Amino acid sequence: MQDTSFISLLAGLQPQEAGFSVDLPADWLQGRTAYGGLSAALAYAATTSMLPGLPPLRSAHFAFVGPAMGTLGIAPSVLRQGKSTTFVGVDLTGEAGLAVRALLCFGADRDSILDHQDLPAPPAAAPDACPDFFNSAGRPGFTRHFDGRLAGGARPLTPDAEPMMLVWLKHRDMVGDDVLTGLIALADALPPAAMVMFPAEWRPISTMTWTIDMLTDSPSSASGWWLVRNVAQTAAGGYSAQDMTIWDESGRPIAAMRQTVAIFA
């Protein structure tokens, strides 16, 4: 089976009366469904294609309601458009019904007397000096599209370690000029940090919600590498809340994120 590049996947978005449709290639799936990052990236890509001229994305919230399988329909709708901000709702449906409900907030720059930033990147060796991350036999199929290098923390199934992983990530193929769509797909490529605590075998997990707060309106990486940190802050009662951060190769903070994950262990 020939792999489908990310650019080809986005080019497969077909205009429909209510938005777009796309057929999911098998090599981009996690089991039978699209993984959360791909569903989120498709929702964002469909929105910006349908509504050109939007200001930069400031925040996004994704609720993963059900499996995203088969041919997907993606329907963006403007909820409110003001002088500087636009709110867009997006429903992504598949053969099993509603899969993702998204709320995207776009906002233009405004003059401000405030200029504060305190989210330094942790120390990390260069990607080429770090060991391969996606090298386990049980890894999801979609991870073949990403290169990962473990820069800190631990791998899944390391129960004596702190539930944190710091990984350099990049797409193996070019993602074109739409940097943010590729970054959204990449940002969810890592397993949840709670999986570090799994004792000896893989157990099912499912991301329930994901919030992304953009810290810049111009994400960029000359090398394609991004530093991603996942930290499980709680894991109890079958759920985990985790904190996630992305920095570019120079240490500039790009996005602050949170996820709620269902843990079947």
Q: What is the pLDDT of residues 4-47, one digit of tens each?
A: 999 999 999 999 998 999 999 999 999 889 999 999 999 999 99
Least Cα distance to 255 among 121, 62, 90, 127 occurs for 121
The pair phi, psi for residue 42, each rounded to 5°, is -65, -40
- pLDDT of the residue at 11: 95
pLDDT-derived band of residue 2, with 50, 70 and 90 as boundaries?
Answer: confident
Tens of pLDDT, residues 185-231:
999 999 999 999 999 888 889 999 999 999 999 999 999 999 999 99
CA–CA separation, 50 and 237 (whole Å) = 41
DSSP 8-state symbol, 92:
E
| Assigned token pair, 253 | 């903070």
* CATH homologous superfamily of 6-108+126-263: Acyl-CoA thioesterase, double hotdog domain (2.40.160.210)
Q: Cβ distance 67 to 96 under 8 Å?
A: yes
| Residue 111 or residue 256, greater confidence | 256
* Neighbouring residues of 254: CB distance < 8 A, sequence distance ≥ 6: 183, 214, 215, 216, 219, 226, 246, 247, 248
Q: Radius of gyration of the chain from Cα atoms? A: 18
CA–CA separation, 215 and 119 (whole Å) = 10
Q: What is the pTM of this model?
A: 0.96
